[in-house]
Structure 1
Amino acid sequence: MAADLTFRPATAADVPALAELVESAYRGEASQVGWTTEAHLLDGQRTDPETLAATLAAPGTVVLLAELDGLLVACCTVEQRTPGAYFGMFSVRPTLQGGGLGKAVLAEAERYVRSEWAATELEMTVIVQREELIAWYERRGFRRTGELSPFPYGNERFGMPKRPDLAFEKLVKAL
């Protein structure tokens, strides 16, 4: 698979396909095919075309796309933050999860932020209730910081929570 996998920065023309990919990986019935779903924690949308377009236009932010034989199969966002970078919106097509594609995308994101921004660390936030996902990141060198931030209850742009105790934890990886 890796030989046919290519990476490139997203453009405005990619927004519709990008929105579909992100939604399929996180929410709704399609997401439940994969193991990274948030559908048991949140209803509603994960993102929308307007938010994605704003992300693409933000200075110091790049959405990296992974394509397999020309088909969009994964993505992530990296944001420049001195001395490191933020990693987010990590999405892998649910039917392709578990086959090493996520590892390849994470490796490309790390390579990109080191080479483009001389980043020395990568940080992210993960919903603390997603223990299996946090364990996956820990196996890839991220460490839990214990730094929690509240879930933005009442802001449907982040989804509609199905439980009252959601919070984000910051994870960090030295590059």
Structure 2
Amino acid sequence: MDAASHPHPQVPHRTGELVHRDATAADTDALVALIESAYRGDSSRTGWTTEADILAGQRTDPRGVLDVIESSGSRLLVIERDGALVACCQLEHRGDAAYFGMFAVSPGAQGSGLGKQVMAVAERVVVETWGAREMHMTVITVREELIAWYERRGYRRTGKLYPFPYGDERFGIPQRDDLEFELLVKRLG
């Protein structure tokens, strides 16, 4: 999908020292590298969002990232500081709600408040773009520290659980047999 046919403007928006914009196909490889570095392998262990102890293999791949970029019902926001990619998140329109996913912050930038800033941008974007009244996300239930971080940002656990896609290595290779997702929700506005 070229910039002319993309449903969202490609003009960067400034948020303090950060710039956010919609991802393009040209960002795909850099986004895959960022997402993998935040969640998988030894590089992810320098940050606190690592899933390396519960999932091996890939977190995403170029096709998965490109699918989000090209979907008319979603946006993949790129967050840059001084021209360097430091974070990203997927926003998907779901009626009165928006889905927040594919959230990654560079391991070296974790713990600096950047994640909070990205979430605030994402919440503002879905309200302004789609009139969303809620933000939804799913988090692996054994990620208690991460769930607590989201709860401090106003998200609440719903108790609604979804099975982990065991056997589909596109989502990683589970290192344990008790993985499932829980829906977290935040009212917006």
Task: Report the TM-score, using the length of structure 1 for normalisation.
Answer: 0.98
Residue pairs, 1:21-32, within 5 angstroms: 21-32=34-45
Residue pairs, 1:66-145, within 5 angstroms: 66-145=79-158
Aligned equivalents of 2:39 and 2:75: distance in 1?
Answer: 20
Confirm whether residue 48 of structure 1 aligns to residue 61 of structure 2.
yes
Equivalent position of 1:34 in the other structure: 47
**CA-to-partner distance for each residue in 1:9-48, whole Å, 9 max, x for gaps?**
1000100100100000010010000000000100000001
Aligned equivalents of 2:29 and 2:171: distance in 1?
Answer: 19
Aligned equivalents of 1:94 and 1:19: distance in 2?
Answer: 14
Confirm whether residue 158 of structure 1 aligns to residue 171 of structure 2.
yes
Instruction: Give the drift of 1:3.
Output: 2.9
Question: Which of 122-131 and 4-13 deviates more?
Answer: 4-13
Which 4+ stretches in 1 moved above 4 angstroms? none
Equivalent position of 1:64 in the other structure: 77
| Number of equivalenced pairs | 174
Instruction: Give the drift of 1:60.
Output: 1.0
What is the letter of the counterpart of residue 118 of structure 2?
A: V
Q: Which secondary structure does the structure 2 equivalent of 1:64 belong to?
A: strand
Stretches of structure 2 lacking an aligned partner (at least 5 in a row):
1-14
What is the letter of the counterpart of residue 83 of structure 1?
A: D
Instruction: Give the drift of 1:144.
Output: 0.1
Equivalent position of 2:11 in the other structure: none
Aligned equivalents of 2:16 and 2:118: distance in 1?
Answer: 13
**Percent same amino acid at aligned positions?**
60
Instruction: Give the drift of 1:142.
Output: 0.2
Question: Which of 131-140 and 47-56 deviates more?
Answer: 47-56
What is the letter of the counterpart of residue 167 of structure 1?
A: E
Aligned equivalents of 1:141 and 1:64: distance in 2?
Answer: 21
CA RMSD of aligned residues (A): 0.7
